[in-house]
Amino acid sequence: MQTFDVLNPATEEVLRPVELTSAEETDAAIARAQAALPAWRRVTPGDRARLLRRFADVVEADVDTLAELEVTNSGHPIGNARWEAGNVADVLRYYSAAPERLTGKQIPVPGGVNITFAEPLGVVGVIVPWNFPMPIAGWGFAPALATGNTVVLKPAELTPLTALRLAELAREAGIPEDVFQVLPGKGSVVGQRFVDHPAVRKVVFTGSTGVGKQIMAGCAAQVKRVTLELGGKNANLVFADADLERAAATAPYGVFDNAGQDCCARSRILVQASVYDRFMELLEPAVKGVVVGDPAADATEMGPLISAAHREKVAGYLPEGAPVAFRGSAPDGPGFWFPPTVVTPDSPTDPLVTEEIFGPVVAVTRFTDEAEALAIANDTPYGLSGSIWTSDLSRALRVSRGVEAGNLSVNSHAAVRYWTPFGGFKQSGLGRELGPDAVAAFTETKNVFLNV
Q: In angstroms, rounded to a whole number, what is the distance separating the alpha carbons of residues 137 and 140?
A: 5
Catalytic residue among 157, 229, 356, 433: 229
Nearer to ligand TAP by Cβ, of 121 and 230: the residue is 230
Q: How far is the CB of 133 from ligand TAP (least distance, A)?
A: 9
Three-point CA angle 446, 452, 114, nearest 5°: 25
Give how far the C-alpha of residue 386 lies from the chain's centroid of Cα atoms, to the nearest Å: 15
CB 336 within 8 A of CB 158: no
Q: How far is the CB of 273 from ligand TAP (least distance, A)?
A: 30
Q: In angstroms, rounded to a whole number, what is the distance separating the alpha carbons of residues 448 and 107?
A: 10
Q: Output the residue with the shortest Cβ distance to ligand TAP.
A: 187
Catalytic residue check, 119: no
Q: How far is the CB of 309 from ligand TAP (least distance, A)?
A: 10
Nearer to ligand TAP by Cβ, of 223 and 393: the residue is 223
Where on the chain is the footprint of ligand TAP (CB under 6 A)?
127-131, 154, 156-157, 186-188, 191-192, 195, 206-208, 211, 214-215, 229-232, 263, 356, 358, 384, 424, 429
Nearer to ligand TAP by Cβ, of 339 and 423: the residue is 423
Q: In angstroms, rounded to a whole number, what is the distance separating the alpha carbons of residues 148 and 150?
A: 7
Other Cβ atoms closer than 10 A to 274: 11
Residue 284 CA: distances (Å) to CA of 91, 165, 234, 356: 37, 40, 20, 22
Task: Name 375's Cβ contacts closer than 8 Å, sequence gap at least 6.
Answer: none
Q: How far is the CB of 437 from ligand TAP (least distance, A)?
A: 14
Where residue 62 falls (left for φ over 0; alpha for ψ -120 to 50; beta otherwise) is: alpha
Nearer to ligand TAP by Cβ, of 90 and 262: the residue is 262
Burial 212-248 (b: 16+ CB within 10 A, else e): bebbbebbeeeebbbbbbbbbbbbbbbbbebebeebb
H/E segment holding residue 339: none
Q: How far is the CB of 86 from ligand TAP (least distance, A)?
A: 18
Nearer to ligand TAP by Cβ, of 226 and 247: the residue is 226
- Residues annotated as catalytic are 229
